[in-house]
Structure 1
Amino acid sequence: MTIGILTAIAAGIMLGLYALPEKYAKDFEFENTWGMMFFINMLIVPVIACLLLVDDFGGILGSLSTEIYLKMGVAALAWGVGVMLWGKAINYIGLSLGFSIFIGTVILVGSLLPFMVDELPASNVLFTILGGLLIVLLGIVANGKAGMVRQEDEQNSDTDTTTQGSMGTGIGIAVGGGLLATGFSYANAAGRPAIHEAAQAAGNPEWVTAVIVMFVIYVAGALFVMPYFYYQLTKKSLWSKFKTPALGRNLMLTSAMGILNFAASVTFAYAAYQLGKAGNTVGYAIFNTVCVAVAILTGLFTGEWAKASGKAKTLLYVGLAAMVVGVLVIAAGNGMAS
């Protein structure tokens, strides 16, 4: 269990840092930066990882049933839409708040989805986990309020409806994206057992299962994300933006984003396996809460809350603390099941 928790924490740190390089891209619009990132993240990195790390990769994929692919594919498509919305939310409301609202929603819903695949734990374990998720929900509410207070601090005495709309829209996008992105948790729970069996039969180490699971999820997610960005780049005539002298710099930044994101997901999948029966629920909560903590600290260090009042920052810290406490309660529930 200790290895699983430490691995989930490492995964959360990577995910919390993955969007940071986006702040330093030059001459790109949202569609250029995130379109390039997702192309690298969903198609290039997973393919290279599987070809380098997986023995009999083609045979393993061929052994999976149509039912497994359908379950994982539909859930992964929803996840793809969700992570695309996440990128938009970060552009609207910043790293710290974008991560807090999005990931908080993911924790709340995504931690419950594996129960649709796996059997329910004992009642005392289930209620402990649900209690932890309720505390996480309180943290989400506090973070949302922090964003609204920050908006009030930053706007002039005259009401700025554009700023209000931007903050409200960003929070709405983050919540909607978080709901859809919970498909990641379901896809992992639905596909991992069969993929693990096939990977082990091919003589792969246990951790390789996580690489294959993420390959299926990421490639399926790309079926929506890539056409979307192609359409947006064409509609807004943004292809010419790739001709900037900063292309090499931006390519390195988006590659770092893509690698960190994929590595975080693979590490989480392995953590969920190490955590045992309730690993998808507990590992998911730990993984995402650490991610939020790292993103909030990153947002503070990069000046996102420089103009925010003490009240706004206090609400942000209270929200983060509630999410951490909630995850500790969830972890305690998992310990009761062990």
Structure 2
Amino acid sequence: MIEGIIWAILAGLMLGLYALPEKFTKDFEFENTWSLFFAINTFLVPNVAAFLLIDGFGEVLAAIPSGVLIGMVVSSLLWGIGVMMWGKAINHIGLSLGFSLFIGTIILVGSLIPFVINGLPKIPVFATIMAGIFVVLIGVVANGRAGILRQASENEADQKSGSMATGILIAVIGGLLATGFSYANTVGGAVIHEAVIAQGNPEWMSAVAVMYVIYMAGGLAIAVYFVQQLTAKKLWSKFNTPSFGKNALLASIMGVFNFAASAGFAYAAFKLGSTGGTVGYAIFNTVAVAVAIVSGLITKEWVNASAKSKNALYMGLGCMILGIVIVAIGNGL
């Protein structure tokens, strides 16, 4: 159990830190940076990692039952659509509220999916894990409030365009679709693990194989979105810059960290046993949010924030840390 929790925490750390290099890109608009990142992250890195590291990877893919593979591909496509909907929600209700609603939905619903598929554990285990997730959600809500208060204190408009109701709906639906990531990992994890082992590979490589399927399928939905955005906003020419090499390197670092984080989660879920999908998912996402917030503090994003917003932020961090401790205790019962 301890090994699985450590892997989930490490994966969350990588996920929380992966976007930091984006702050140092030059001459790129948002769409340029993130389209390049996703191209590397969902197509280049998975292929290099899977075919370079896993012996007989073609045989591993062939061994996945068609029903399982179809389920993984469809749910991964939904994950990709969900991620893009989160970006749309931000345009309506701002980053803080959009992030809070999106991640809150992912943690709550995504953590329940393994229970729906694999069945409920014993009542004490289930009750303790759900109590921990509830505490985590309190922390997520507090963080969302902290962000809104910060924007108000800095005289920034949180509602950018469109109606608040529309933005909230988009964020929640996007979060629901993004839980396809949890579904794909749950239905494919055991089958792919057996196929990887059968080819004589170490068991940790099964996590790479699982993420290969998820990222390749989800990347299709993401690619369609960014092609449309780059074309509509006439941003293709922005790639022609002397800073492209540096930006590509930074995007590659982001891509490796993001993929490694997801693979680390998949391995953590396997090592945590029957409740691993739920426990690992909760720890993974919670640690990622906490690390992202702490990195924002370190890079002085909150330097001009009001004391009220900072207090809400610290409360949120405290609740998230307490929540994952409770979740870990529940997994050990």
The TM-score range, normalised by the shorter chain, is: over 0.9
- Answering whether residue 187 of structure 2 is matched by residue 190 of structure 1, we say yes
* Residues 104 and 289 in structure 1, CA contact (< 8 A), matched pair in contact too: no
Partner of 1:59: 59
Partner of 2:83: 83
What is the CA distance between 1:250 and its match in structure 2? Answer: 0.7
Tell me the distance in 2 between the aligned counterparts of 1:262 and 1:102.
20
Superposition map of 1:1-338 within 5 A: 1-86=1-86, 102-155=102-155, 163-166=157-160, 175-336=172-333
* Residues 101 and 143 in structure 1, CA contact (< 8 A), matched pair in contact too: no
Tell me the distance in 2 between the aligned counterparts of 1:99 and 1:318.
17
1:17-71 Cα offsets, whole Å, 9 max, x none, are 0111111111111211111000000000000001111111111111212211121
TM-score (norm 1): 0.91
What is the CA distance between 1:288 and its match in structure 2? Answer: 1.3
Runs of 4+ in 1 over 4 A off after TM superposition: 85-94, 96-101, 167-176
Tell me the distance in 2 between the aligned counterparts of 1:36 and 1:124.
46
Instruction: Say if 1:260 and 1:89 are closer, same or farther in 2 by CA, change over 3 A.
Output: farther
* Residues 192 and 209 in structure 2, CA contact (< 8 A), matched pair in contact too: yes
* Residues 100 and 292 in structure 1, CA contact (< 8 A), matched pair in contact too: no
Aligned length: 329
Tell me the distance in 1 between the aligned counterparts of 2:89 and 2:37.
16
TM-score (norm 2): 0.92
Instruction: Say if 1:326 and 1:278 are closer, same or farther in 2 by CA, change over 3 A.
Output: same
1:269-317 Cα offsets, whole Å, 9 max, x none, are 1111111111111111111111111100111122221221111011111
User: Secondary structure of the equivalent of 2:273?
Assistant: coil
User: Which amino acid in structure 2 is aligned with residue 207 of structure 1?
Assistant: W
Tell me the distance in 1 between the aligned counterparts of 2:237 and 2:85.
24
User: Which amino acid in structure 2 is aligned with residue 130 of structure 1?
Assistant: M
What is the root-mean-square deviation of aligned Cα atoms in Å?
2.2
In structure 2, list runs of 5 or more residues that go unmatched: none
User: Secondary structure of the equivalent of 2:274?
Assistant: coil
How much identity, in percent, do the aligned residues show?
58
User: Secondary structure of the equivalent of 2:27?
Assistant: coil
Between 81-90 and 273-282, report the one with greater CA deviation: 81-90
